[in-house]
Amino acid sequence: MIKTKPTKMKKIVLLSCVILVINTYLATPQSNSYITFDVRGLAIAAPSHDGVDAFISFVDKELAPNSINTLILRVDYNYQYQTHPELRNENALIKEDVKKIVKKCQEHKIRIIPQINLLGHQSWESTVENLLKVYPQFDETPHVKLPAKYAWPNADGLYCKSYCPLHPDLHSVVFDLVDEICDVFEADAFHAGMDEVFYIGDDKCPRCKGKDKSELFANEVNLVNAHLAEKKRELWIWGDRLIDGHTTGLGMWEASENDTHRAIDMINKAVVICDWHYERPDLTAVIFASKGFRVITCPWNKPDIAMAQIRNTQIFKACSTSEVSDRYLGIMQTIWSDCERFIQEYNKAEKSDDGSVKCFRALLHEFPKSK
């Protein structure tokens, strides 16, 4: 058969057919179709010790009736660790608090996935987080000092500190925390964060200097994944560092401009990717699914964007092969205020001006109601 390049007219006809198929799908009633999403999730900070009862009530009265089935809890150092008590926050959760949360979520068949930020997010503005505060030798960039008053941009390119993934003593501490928090939450998966990593492979780090940043990132992901796999646990991470910010035009926040994006071809396909985009419903979930990853699309504070992300996920699932379709797991709302504040705003209902509250309520309206 002689193959010829498509003419301009043929391209226009093909594009028109694609648009027609999508518009037909969009015009077709999709009642109860969201129930096919494997993940209808919420990612939120874990409550403080004093906020546990209010959080359990929130699970009971709001999350469960609205078919939320996955809960990522950012714990970090908000737990009274027995393996490393030196890393505890004040007013941290105790074991009994966690067991109350676990019991309520198990009652409603809500899967809990605890999170500790690994690699990046080891500081915030002018405050260093507990790991580097207690173990400053783990700092990737000890020469960068946190300012008394933080501002962005700054001469050091400081957003958040990172730990050095090649420090020989690091993982014995980190994995103690990961194992303990997964055990107490009875979790079969762990979220390691790993978003917005700006400091990696620093030229002044004696261990990382000159090394390939994509390889450093991928090796850390794979190391954590292998550790979790020993106990048959999944690794979940945010996906921004795996997207080429230059080629896609997504920039340095929602994607990588510091050469970590090639790690997408180096990490284990068992890792679950949480693909967050907040300003536009960017279609990067397709990148991850086509590479063999399971992917979850994550909105934040714009209801119209979240609705587009839901519809996009439906289209991806409907217009893909069965192998690829199954990799689009669903939708997960992200909340970046503390747990207590969000619940207070949520309870104001329509009186709340909080964008994340409005976005979450819009999602809940679309999800099926529990019987």
Q: What are the sequence ranges of the domains in the chain?
A: 35-366
Q: Which amino acid is at 86?
A: E
CATH class of the domain comprising 35-366? alpha beta
**Residue 44 and residue 74: Cα distance in Å, rounded?**
6
Range of weakest confidence among 18-22, 172-176, 242-246: 18-22
**Residue 326 and residue 320: Cα distance in Å, rounded?**
9
Both structure tokens of 114:
């605890």
**Residue 170 and residue 164: Cα distance in Å, rounded?**
8
pLDDT tens-place string over residues 29-38: 444 445 479 9
∠ CA(258), CA(291), CA(209), 5° rounding?
A: 25
Task: Supply φ then ψ for residue 325, to 5 degrees.
Answer: -55, -40
- pLDDT above 80: residue 249: yes
Question: What pLDDT is recorded for position 7?
Answer: 54
**Residue 340 and residue 91: Cα distance in Å, rounded?**
13
Give the mean pLDDT of the chain.
92
CA dihedral 93, 87, 180, 171 (to 10 degrees): 160
Q: Which residues are CB-contacts of 344 (< 8 A; sequence separation ≥ 6)? A: none
**Residue 107 and residue 102: Cα distance in Å, rounded?**
8
Question: What pLDDT is recorded for position 2?
Answer: 46
∠ CA(81), CA(86), CA(92), 5° rounding?
A: 50
